[in-house]
């Protein structure tokens, strides 16, 4: 019998928990779901887990795998399960069961909900593997020998149920693949990814930093990092401007009332930074821009001749992410969105979505990203997470499916991955290491225009409800740059590099001429740096290579006479060019974004 990789990984999580219980009989267990590369389990053993503990857990897991222990399922009422887990001294499982009993499954996180099947209507299932019993919906492999190739990997801290007020547990991660070859390939990729880690490269290349005084998840951008952000944003704007977008600007705060009306306060209030004024008015730092943009649209009556309205704005939004979830630029509290919203009639949806889709294709082709498409739909079993009615959602999802069909691309469906106000097309970019990252989105929203009563006047002089399209090309500039830094291993292409040409004077007598030459290149629009240090030429070249400079010119007597010897990054042989020809070549490479 064949098993899905998720079944294999979830079963491996149970075997790891069984190994932990064997080694630490008093261990308390949180949740242990499957994840993209394996699994994890949140545990409390009464002390800090050590690297030696991880090695012992690996050995014990292998012993249990070799014993071919069965995964035995038993169904019972929530009350019976509470009694069972109280007897087993597992307070976290008891807490989950009490929540399931009183609130149902809709209040559980995705990781917690993986343990319970809502179709069982009040009943739960538990699985026993050897001496270990766990609350779990299953299914699993038949026995512990079928958990594939695995490795107990690393550990991290995790607050129980993601709340800082709850006990801190230790999260033990494991890698798991169907075969040893796949596991080996993944570990090789991870070793390469470690070299490309954007947090490490960001510091080495002087792109961004963090300050304890400013706070976690709030990156500070250096001049070089700011160039990257600006160049990327200008490229997106160039593509959007060609499709008829116009720029708007909004405040960073709003009255609570705006988010109450939009529906975000009810669904999103725990993630908002809230402000109470001295007059006791409640405001919030904006976590998204769409409600503000609705008010620009609604500031005057629109005729059908004014439609569509296309608003674009690159601006920061703020979300109260939990400290334990923050990670470099990948997860921050201050998010810069290259955001845009199209307000259009229903018969304009196709042309507007395809125009955005064209922008996405052009933008990501520039970086060599292969795009995969996910249609993110709602979860009908948890409809209270969404605005609107099931009928409206079915209409919006049918519209997006029709667009995909006309575009002629393959896709996967992501049930439950929709935004609260509408389904979306999520574009997944594959980087140089073959990893998939969610990048651009096109979101179709029939609900927020209803909440704000947004209309235009049609050809008959009647009010006609309109539709919103939410679209982001990079999404979060911070997260996109974390992907891009790792994609290029910090070696940015010439057009994007913060410094495009590094001029390296041979001796002190060449410095003034090198600076004059650099200024001439700057006047042509290039980003140039002169290394006027007292280091040897060899050391200057090594320093420039370490900074991953795309182009280096050693500037000596010959160069002062007008002929340049050019070193291109990644090219063994140097190139000799007259100054004019060099300038023409560089400007062409920049303009073509080669």
Find the mean pLDDT for residues 204-221. Answer: 96
Measured between alpha carbons, how far is 451 from 342 in angstroms, rounded to an integer? 16
Rounded to 5 degrees, φ, ψ at 17 are -60, -40
Structure confidence at residue 100 as a pLDDT band (50, 70, 90): confident
Indicate the pairing of strand 282-285 with strand 253-255: antiparallel
Q: Which among 135, 124, 154 has a CA at the least distance from the CA of 92?
A: 135
Residue in 292, 319, 510, 548 annotated catalytic: 319
pLDDT digits (tens, 9 = 90+) for 299-356: 999 999 999 999 999 999 999 988 878 899 999 999 999 999 999 999 999 999 999 9
Active site residue 443: no
Position 561 scores a pLDDT of 85
Residue in 53, 134, 339, 431 annotated catalytic: 339
Tokens matching residue 531? 């290394």
Share of the chain above pLDDT 90, in %: 84
Measured between alpha carbons, how far is 229 from 338 in angstroms, rounded to an integer? 11
Residue in 90, 146, 337, 443 annotated catalytic: 337
Active site residue 341: yes
Find the mean pLDDT for residues 530-551. Answer: 95
User: SS3 for 444?
Assistant: strand
Q: Is residue 109 predicted with pLDDT exceeding 90?
A: no
pLDDT digits (tens, 9 = 90+) for 114-168: 566 655 567 899 999 999 999 998 899 999 999 999 999 999 998 998 888 899 9
Report the chain's mean pLDDT, rounded to a whole number. Answer: 93
- Of the candidate ranges 25-29, 361-365, 430-434, 448-452, the one whose mean pLDDT is the lowest: 430-434
Handedness of CA 397, 403, 408, 409 (dihedral sign): negative
Active site residue 399: no
pLDDT digits (tens, 9 = 90+) for 249-295: 999 999 999 999 998 888 788 889 999 999 999 999 999 999 999 99
Q: Is residue 594 predicted with pLDDT exceeding 60?
A: yes
Query: Are 471 and 443 in contact, with CB atoms under 8 Å apart?
Result: yes
Structure confidence at residue 562 as a pLDDT band (50, 70, 90): confident
| 194, 331, 367, 436, 563 from 430: Cα distances, Å | 17, 19, 10, 5, 41
Measured between alpha carbons, how far is 317 from 146 in angstroms, rounded to an integer? 46
pLDDT digits (tens, 9 = 90+) for 509-519: 999 999 999 99
Neighbours of 414 (CB within 10 A): 17
Active site residue 319: yes
Position 244 scores a pLDDT of 97
Residue in 93, 302, 470, 547 annotated catalytic: 470
What CATH topology corresponds to 202-488? BirA Bifunctional Protein; domain 2 (3.30.930)
What CATH topology corresponds to 501-591? Rossmann fold (3.40.50)
Q: Which among 320, 332, 207 has a CA at the least distance from the CA of 274?
A: 320
Residue in 171, 341, 437, 510 annotated catalytic: 341
Find the mean pLDDT for residues 519-538. Answer: 95
Domain boundaries, the chain: 5-194, 202-488, 501-591
**Beta pairing partners, 129:** 132
Active site residue 123: no
Q: Does domain 5-194 have CATH number 3.30.980.10?
A: yes
Active site residue 470: yes
pLDDT digits (tens, 9 = 90+) for 425-484: 999 998 888 888 999 999 999 999 999 999 999 999 999 999 999 999 999 999 999 999
What end-to-end distance do the CA atoms of the chain give, in Å?
Answer: 50
Query: Are 543 and 526 in contact, with CB atoms under 8 Å apart?
Result: no
Residue in 7, 53, 90, 290 annotated catalytic: 290
Position 227 scores a pLDDT of 98
Residue in 151, 292, 424, 510 annotated catalytic: 424
User: SS3 for 579?
Assistant: helix
Tokens matching residue 267? 């669904």
Q: Which among 126, 139, 154 has a CA at the least distance from the CA of 54?
A: 154
């Amino acid at each position: 019998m064949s098993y899905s990789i998720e079944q294999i990984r979830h079963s491996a999580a149970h075997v790891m928990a069984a190994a932990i219980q064997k080694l630490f009989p008093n261990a308390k267990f949180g949740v242990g779901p499957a994840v993209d590369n394996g699994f994890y389990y949140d545990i409390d053993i009464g002390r800090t887990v050590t690297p030696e503990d991880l090695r012992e857990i690996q050995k014990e897991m292998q012993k249990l795998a070799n014993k071919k222990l069965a995964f035995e399922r038993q169904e019972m009422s929530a009350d019976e399960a509470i009694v069972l887990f109280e007897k087993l001294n597992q307070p976290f499982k008891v807490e989950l069961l009490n929540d399931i009993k009183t609130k149902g499954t809709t209040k559980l996180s995705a990781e917690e909900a993986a343990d319970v099947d809502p179709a069982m209507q009040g009943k739960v299932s538990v699985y026993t593997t050897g001496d270990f019993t766990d609350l779990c919906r299953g299914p699993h492999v038949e026995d512990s020998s079928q958990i594939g190739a695995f490795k107990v990997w690393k550990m991290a801290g995790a607050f129980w149920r993601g709340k800082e007020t709850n006990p801190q547990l230790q999260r033990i991660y494991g890698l798991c693949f169907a075969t040893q070859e796949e596991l080996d390939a993944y570990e090789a990729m991870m070793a390469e990814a470690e070299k490309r880690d954007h947090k490490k490269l960001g510091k080495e290349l002087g792109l961004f930093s963090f300050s304890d005084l400013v706070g976690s998840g709030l990156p500070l951008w250096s001049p070089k990092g700011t160039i990257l952000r600006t160049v990327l944003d200008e490229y997106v704007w160039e593509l959007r401007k060609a499709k008829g977008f116009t720029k708007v600007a909004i405040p960073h705060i709003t009255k609570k009332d705006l988010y109450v009306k939009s529906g975000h306060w009810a669904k999103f209030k725990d993630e908002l930074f809230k402000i109470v004024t001295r007059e006791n008015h409640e405001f919030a730092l904006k976590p998204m821009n769409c409600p503000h943009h609705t008010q620009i649209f609604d500031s005057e009556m629109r005729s059908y001749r004014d439609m569509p309205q296309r608003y674009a704005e690159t601006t920061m939004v703020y979300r109260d992410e939990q400290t334990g979830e923050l990670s470099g630029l990948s997860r921050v509290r201050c998010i810069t969105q290259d955001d845009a919203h199209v307000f259009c009639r229903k018969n304009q949806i196709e042309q507007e979505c395809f125009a955005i889709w064209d922008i996405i294709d052009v933008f990501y082709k520039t970086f060599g990203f292969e795009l995969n498409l996910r249609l993110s739909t709602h979860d009908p079993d948890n409809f209270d997470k969404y605005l609107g009615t099931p009928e409206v959602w079915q209409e919006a999802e049918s519209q997006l499916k029709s667009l995909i069909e006309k575009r002629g691309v393959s896709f996967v469906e992501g049930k439950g991955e929709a935004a609260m106000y509408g389904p979306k097309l999520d574009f997944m970019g594959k980087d140089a290491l073959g990893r998939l990252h969610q990048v651009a989105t096109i979101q179709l929203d029939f609900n927020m225009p209803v909440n704000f009563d947004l209309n235009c006047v049609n050809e008959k002089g009647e009010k006609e409800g309109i539709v919103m399209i939410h679209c982001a090309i990079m999404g979060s500039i911070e997260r996109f740059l974390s992907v891009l830094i790792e994609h290029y291993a910090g070696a940015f292409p010439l057009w994007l590099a913060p410094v495009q040409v590094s001029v390296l004077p041979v001796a002190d007598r060449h410095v003034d001429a090198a600076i004059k030459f650099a200024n001439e290149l700057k006047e042509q629009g290039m980003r140039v740096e002169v290394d006027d240090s007292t280091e040897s030429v060899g050391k200057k070249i090594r320093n420039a290579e370490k900074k991953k400079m795309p182009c280096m010119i050693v500037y000596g007597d010959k160069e002062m006479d007008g002929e340049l010897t050019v070193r291109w990054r990644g090219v063994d042989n140097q190139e000799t060019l007259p100054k004019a020809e060099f300038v023409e070549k560089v400007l062409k490479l920049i303009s073509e974004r080669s």
